[in-house]
């Protein structure tokens, strides 16, 4: 109860505008827009930096477990706003490799090769006319498994909340893409600007992050368990105890 009262009392004394954490903030001035898409994987995300400290982003999977999923595609799409004051400057790079599908593809193709060799080129007595169709089916399955392997293998850049370390938004990692590099540079500058703008102390950021994550949890964008874990981290921060 004491912690909750502490949060409420801090919220009252925050200066106007410093704790603005609406999940659907409307831009007054657009700073930079970036659309990230790949034709093969069918991914398209839109990111809009605006008013110096905000980011509108298209969240393709708005379920709380979305950031733990190994698949990009999800029919649930939402547009949310991140207040960069509460976003950590150092993102996490995470690679998901669908090893199971790769091994399945290699095994199927290897079996198909062996069957074709036995049925067409060897003198073994147990050859059967059904072996070639089986090899074709295995070959087709192997190709499909390779496609699924490529589809499910991802390299992400995940931005998390500053203290609670809850994943907020993610991008596909494209280090050779010029537009990607420009956007990442602008995003880093905006996060730094948001962290150091006039009147914002670490205590303001902690309370604001807590409020922001609570709204994300109530909206079903992040898991409640992630919010509770982040809440504990924020309460334990030395600046929050002051």
Q: How far apart, in whole angstroms, are the C-alpha atoms of residue 75 and residue 42?
A: 12
Res 53: pLDDT: 92
pLDDT, mean of residues 98-125: 87
The encoded tokens of residue 3 equal 């912690």
pLDDT tens column, 180-210:
999 999 999 999 999 998 888 899 899 999 9
Whole-model pTM over 0.85: no
Looking up tokens 């090769």 gives: 113
Looking up tokens 């902690």 gives: 206
Q: How far apart, in whole angstroms, are the C-alpha atoms of residue 161 and residue 191?
A: 11
Within 10 Å of residue 114's Cβ, how many Cβ atoms?
A: 14
CA 131 to mean position of chain CA atoms = 45
Residue that wins the pLDDT comparison between 77 and 162: 162
Q: What whole-number percentage of the chain has pLDDT above 90? A: 46
Q: What is the mean pLDDT of the chain?
A: 80
pLDDT, mean of residues 131-147: 92
The encoded tokens of residue 156 equal 């992400």
Residue 152: pLDDT band with limits 50, 70, 90: confident
pLDDT surpassing 80 at residue 74: no
As a residue count, the chain comes to: 242
* 167-172 and 154-160 beta bridge pairing: antiparallel
C-alpha dist (Å) from residue 58 to 134, 139, 210? 44, 38, 22
pLDDT surpassing 70 at residue 66: no
Q: How far apart, in whole angstroms, are the C-alpha atoms of residue 234 and residue 66?
A: 23
Cβ-contact 51, 27 below 8 angstroms? yes
Largest CA distance in the chain: 88
- Which of left, alpha, beta for 44 (phi over 0: left; psi -120 to 50: alpha)? beta
Res 118: pLDDT: 82
Res 7: pLDDT: 42
pLDDT surpassing 60 at residue 55: yes
pLDDT, mean of residues 100-108: 95
């Amino acid at each position: 109860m004491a912690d909750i009262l502490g949060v409420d009392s801090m919220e009252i004394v925050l200066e106007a505008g410093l704790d603005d954490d609406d999940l659907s903030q409307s831009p007054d001035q657009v700073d930079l827009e970036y659309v990230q898409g790949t034709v093969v994987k069918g991914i398209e995300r839109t990111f809009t930096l605006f008013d110096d400290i905000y980011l509108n982003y298209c969240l393709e999977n708005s379920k709380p477990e979305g950031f733990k999923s190994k698949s990009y595609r999800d029919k649930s799409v939402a547009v949310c706003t991140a207040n960069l004051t509460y976003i950590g400057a150092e993102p996490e790079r995470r690679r998901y490799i669908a090893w199971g599908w790769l091994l399945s593809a290699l095994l199927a193709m290897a079996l198909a090769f062996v069957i074709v060799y036995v049925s067409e080129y060897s003198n073994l007595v147990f050859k059967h006319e059904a072996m070639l169709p089986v090899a074709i089916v295995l070959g087709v399955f192997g190709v499909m498994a390779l496609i699924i392997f490529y589809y499910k293998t991802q390299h992400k850049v995940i931005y998390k909340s500053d203290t609670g370390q809850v994943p907020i938004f993610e991008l596909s990692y494209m280090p050779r893409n010029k537009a990607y590099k420009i956007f990442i540079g602008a995003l880093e500058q905006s996060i730094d600007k948001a962290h150091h703008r006039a009147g914002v102390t670490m205590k303001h950021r902690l309370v604001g992050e807590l409020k922001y994550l609570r709204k994300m949890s109530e909206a079903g964008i992040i898991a409640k368990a992630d919010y509770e874990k982040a809440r504990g981290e924020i309460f334990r921060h030395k600046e929050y105890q002051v």
